[in-house]
Amino acid sequence: MKVIIIGAGKVGLQLVESLLNEKHDVIVIDNDQEVINRLDDTLDVLAVKGNGVSINLLRKVECENAALLIAVTNSDEANIVSCINAKKLGAKSVIARIRDPEYVEELEFIRKNLDIDYIINPELATAYEILRLLSSTYGSYTEEFAGGNVRLTEIQVDRQATIIDKQIKELKIPKGVIITAIARGSDIIIPNGSDYIFAKDILYLLGERNSVDMFAKAAGAHIVSGRVRDVMISGGGLTAFYLAQALEKKNINVKIVEQNEEKCRELSEQLEKTLILNGDGTDISLLKAEQVEGMDAFVSLTGFDEENILVALLAKQLGAKKVIAK
């Protein structure tokens, strides 16, 4: 399959590597000659220097024969125009990355009316995933469907649970709950009524959320008690903004710690209820002064993975109930 990637930043390069691993024919367009040279030296792709918005350039790389074009430059507007032009030239499917908060409410309109097949906003998707984790009843993996009415939950059977050493057909499983799989050591079992449940088995439960919760408690699942009311976020980027905005709608108290003073001003103008603190999220004295030990959750969303991990560990040591690192 012929795929064209416009923009060879971090996301673009990850896409290129994944597509090459799947044996696709990849063309990369970027306006930085150093990036093009590096691609030529390290990856088996056709790297072209230029502006992905240009119709002439898209014709040059035979965009009309592409099964997919993905625009992931740093400019939302360039991504949109590149996709529109590619679709007009005959590309089968197009995907645009659009990150600006000003466009969030308009994404569906843009997708439908500008003939863009898919729109991705990684920061918004990350914020929603973090919100889901903060709202989760369990300490383990949980996913919800059908507006939260259906739940898929991973639980480990406790040694003291009443269901151990019993066949599934002997258990009083609530109506609407299915044990879809059992992980036992390195084995994955698709169970039937004659299979046994043992201590330390990992069960995958699917069903109506309240019924799943009822059975999970009988299995000894670790339930995270208490509603999240106070959240502290380290880092004031787009993900932090989207997360704080979503938390505000749930009437959750939010604090954001951000080093950049200009970003702090922007966040204070965009967010109505969130407290914005200009400071270093790794500063222990600041975290203590802002009573991180009283936080229901601490989320580290700086631009550095190592810092996120270290700050999350620090917050946990200082007493934050739940910590999440990006």
**211: β partners:** none
What DSSP assignment string belongs to 79-121? HHHHHHHHHHHT-SEEEEE---GGGGGGHHHHHHHTT-SEEE-
Domain 2-120: give its CATH architecture: 3-Layer(aba) Sandwich (3.40)
Average pLDDT (18-45) is 93
Q: What is the pLDDT of residues 262-296, one digit of tens each?
A: 999 999 999 999 999 999 988 999 999 999 999 99
Residue 300 contacts residue 235 (beta carbons within 8 Å): yes
Architecture of domain 137-218 in this structure: 2-Layer Sandwich (3.30)
* SS3 state at 17: helix
CATH 3.40.50.720 fits 230-325, yes or no: yes
Q: Is 293 helix (H, G, I), strand (E, B) or coil?
A: helix
Tens digit of pLDDT for each residue in 129-158?
898 888 766 556 677 787 778 888 888 888
Q: Could you tell me the CA-to-CA distances from 261 to 86, 207, 245, 276 in Å, in that order?
A: 40, 47, 20, 10
Percentage of the chain surpassing pLDDT 70? Answer: 97
The pTM of this model reads 0.73
Same topology, domains 2-120 and 230-325? Answer is yes
Burial pattern 138-159, b for ≥16 Cβ within 10 A else e, equals beeebeeeeeeeebbbbbbbbe
Neighbours of 49 (CB within 10 A): 15
Query: Which residues contact residue 269 at a Cβ distance below 8 angstroms, ignoring those fewer than 6 apart?
Result: none
Alpha carbon distance 258, 264 (integer Å): 6
Q: What is the pLDDT of residues 221-256, one digit of tens each?
A: 765 555 789 999 999 999 999 999 999 998 999 999
**What residues does each domain of the chain span?**
2-120, 137-218, 230-325
Mean pLDDT of 32-50: 92
**pLDDT value of residue 60:** 94
Kindly report, residue by residue over 83-140, the tens digit of the pLDDT.
Answer: 999 999 999 999 999 998 888 888 888 888 898 999 999 999 999 889 888 876 655 6
